[in-house]
Amino acid sequence: MPLVPGRQILSEALKGGYGVGAFNVNNMEQIQSIMMAAKETQSPVFIQASRGALKYSNLNYLRHLMLAAVELNPDIPMAMHLDHGNSLESAKTAVELGFSSVMIDGSLKEDGKTPTTYAENVDVTRKVVEYCHQYGVSVEGELGTLGGIEDGVGSGQIHLTDPDQAIGFIQETGVDYLALAIGTSHGAYKFKTAPKLAMDIVKKVRAKAPEVPLVMHGSSSVPADLRDAINRYGGQMPNAMGVPVEAIQEGIKNGVAKINVDTDGRMAITAAIRKIFVEDPKVFDPREYLSPARDAHAKIVAERMRQFGAAGHAKDYKPMTLAENKAYYASKGK
């Protein structure tokens, strides 16, 4: 199966009333575990790389690992997604690498920290859409800013999305799906108490743009059992709360089709490795601690796929190629 355009995966999810997990990767084990979970649950999936991940792994290492995942899992619809691209140039690089989906985070300037104006966001997002659609590559935009900082990205400030402005943004830019700021936050240390998300924003945007899949960033749940395991085996993660799964499920009912999860996977990997190092300090072969870490990551990814309702939907539709998606955009004048 070729890489699937993100637009098709999320449009099908929107029609089916489920959410697709978008999981960040940095190395082989993470990619393997995500695909293990996708195959076990028969779920479509976004494998996404941030600019930091591409820098860490070197562009082509990660690209070929992702392409190996496609080759080895021909029955799983998979989008290869750039997370938090910060410029037209970063989008061009992703297209050249073969990505089937690109996010342009025009809510922040190229430094990934300074908020932009609405006009600046529209300008860069429109340019990325015009470029990517020529190649059949789908585009995610963002309006508003999240709290927290992860992978060097984030202003540290929360500016909730204006739903009326979001409709204009969709029309002016032509984005395929839109990330909303509704009170979620990047990173592991999101909230001290259970967050109250602005679900009314999701409902209003959904009502006025029912065909546009919506995206939740900063949606890791920061499981208490993983946090406690990390601390039990020598870690230092103070009490923190993430986004409850129930809140994500409410978002899915109201039009959220893509849910970004990163911290939960990192915690599962770290907890597994710390446990082994404490319980068996003689271990020095990376395979002996990376294999259990991979299994732990696969377990939580599969759990999220089931909770988001994606399980069992891998074979619901015939996947499009990028060439077919390019023809779709041309037919719509996009």
pLDDT reported for residue 188: 52
Which residue among 75, 83, 105, 162 is the active-site one? 83
Can you read off the two tokens belonging to residue 195? Answer: 């967050």
Which residue type is seen at 120?
Answer: E
At 54, the pLDDT band (50, 70, 90 cuts) reads confident
The Cβ of residue 118 has, within 10 Å, a number of other Cβ atoms equal to 15
Sorted by where each starts, the structural domains of the chain and their CATH numbers stand as: 6-324 (3.20.20.70)
In this predicted structure, what is the pLDDT of residue 118? 94
**Which residues pair with residue 50 across a beta bridge?**
83
Q: How far from 283 is each of 25, 28, 230, 232, 286, CA to CA, in Å?
A: 25, 21, 18, 19, 8
Which residues, in sequence order, are bridge partners of residue 115? Answer: 108
Task: Evaluate whether 79 touches 5 at the Cβ level (below 8 Å).
Answer: yes
Kind of pairing between the strands at 101-104 and 78-85: parallel
Q: Quote the CA–CA distance of 54 and 151 in Å, as a whole number.
A: 11
pLDDT for the residue 183: 83
Residue of 236 and 131 predicted with greater confidence:
131
Q: Give the pLDDT confidence score for residue 191 in this predicted structure.
A: 52
Provide the b/e sequence for 283-322 (b: ≥16 CB within 10 Å): eeeeeebbeebbebbbbbbbbbbbbbbbbebbeebebbbb
In this model, does residue 90 exceed pLDDT 80? Answer: yes
Would you say residue 291 has pLDDT above 90?
Answer: yes
Q: What's the whole-model pTM score?
A: 0.93
Q: What is the pLDDT of residues 119-170, one digit of tens each?
A: 999 999 999 999 999 999 999 999 987 654 455 444 456 789 999 999 999 9
Establish whether 83 is a catalytic residue: yes
